[in-house]
Amino acid sequence: MNFYRNKLILTLSAAILLSGCTFSTHIDKNRYWQMQENITPLPRVSVEGSDGYVRYPEIFRQKQLFQDVVPKENATISVDVRSYSSGAPNLVSAFSWLIVSGCSGYLIPYRGDNVRHADFNLYVDGQLTKTYKYDDIKSTWIWFFAFPLMKPENDEYFVEELIADQFVNSFIIDLLKDREMLEKIQLSQTNTEAATKAREPL
């Protein structure tokens, strides 16, 4: 009985330690973007893609660059966001350091890196026109003395939102610099409007 009780106490203590001393960070690449009055909104867009609880359509809607975020059948262009993770750059080193840190009761801090990727596949007239690729590194820290660093902005889920927001900002910045792509989008919108007008009764 004492064995099971002690095992339960150790398990709970470990869980409390890990949950109480864990925080996350990511690489801030200073990729910020905000809609300006001198920027002409782009045509309606459909956005597909999610990363856990992160919803990319909602992030696009908040940016206000596009006239609206609508279902694919009502959009001039479509963006398919494929997000994925490639894990730590060196798994052996990461696991070894986790053991060392754990044996010290996390008095020696542990940092686990997770490389996040996002591919923004841009479709114009239903055809894949270009793919924009981005990456970031999310770091999860475990440290016995980390309590003062456990701020809302270091919450794991908040960091996930920051990474997704940075991906979208990077895509928007690169798209607005891509003159050839903007011309294709404008031509697609012009053709769509002309086709719609041609279908109107005289």
For residue 94, tell me if it sits in a domain. yes
For residue 15, tell me if it sits in a domain. no
pLDDT given for residue 192 in this prediction: 79
pLDDT given for residue 65 in this prediction: 95
Q: What is the DSSP string of the chain?
A: -HHHHHHHHHHHHHHHHHHHTEEEEE----------TTSPPBPPEEEE-EETTEEHHHHHHHH--BS-B--GGG-SEEEEEEEEEEE-S-HHHHHHHHHHHHHTTTSS-EEEEEEEEEEEEEEETTEEEEEEEEEEEEEEEE-TT-GGG--GGGSHHHHHHHHHHHHHHHHHHHHHH-HHHHHHHHHHHHHHHHHHHHTS--
pLDDT given for residue 20 in this prediction: 43
CATH number for the domain spanning 186: value is: 3.30.160.150
Low-confidence ranges of the chain (pLDDT < 50): 9-10, 12-13, 15-20
For residue 17, tell me if it sits in a domain. no
For residue 10, tell me if it sits in a domain. no
Domain count, the chain: 1
pLDDT given for residue 17 in this prediction: 47
For residue 16, tell me if it sits in a domain. no
pLDDT given for residue 153 in this prediction: 66
pLDDT given for residue 1 in this prediction: 54
Q: Which domain holds residue 143?
A: 25-196
pLDDT given for residue 175 in this prediction: 96
pLDDT given for residue 135 in this prediction: 94
